[in-house]
Amino acid sequence: METTLLLVKPDGVQRGLVGEILGRVERRGLRLSALKLMHVSRSLAEQHYAIHKGKPFYNGLIDYIVSAPVVAMAWSGNKAVEAVRQVLGATNPTQAAPGTVRADFAIDIGRNLTHGSDSAENGAAEVALWFTTAEVQQWQAANAAWVFE
């Protein structure tokens, strides 16, 4: 069982796409473990995007993610990281497969609506960064036997 972080970034929140994105992941069969609407602190943004420090787009990325509320979600399930990334589509919306969130609702890589963890290890680390253990709920969905073998 994996856990992954999904952020609906400021552009997705401002455009009213939170429900659409949440619904697509939920219908995929994953279990929502945590959810919150929040303003991201500069410190949290810098920790989350530390891998990009020194890159030309880093400062703009930090300014953008702290500019308006985001919705942070933790999702759990078999192959949760891969499943969420398939729902979201490629990071660059112009390269995303039709039917994915980014292909359907985004055009610009700098406003690609969402962040999804890129590995199980990063998913666990990112969920721990964005949520306290008390905020992450452990529960079994009634339909789990109908979704996972």
Residue 72 pairs in a beta bridge with 7, 36
For 146, the token pair is: 């109908």
Judge whether 52 counts as a catalytic residue. Answer: no
Q: Which of 39, 48, 52, 115 is catalytic?
A: 115
Where residue 54 falls (left for φ over 0; alpha for ψ -120 to 50; beta otherwise) is left
- For residues 12 and 88, the answer to whether their CB atoms sit within 8 Å is no
Catalytic residues: 115
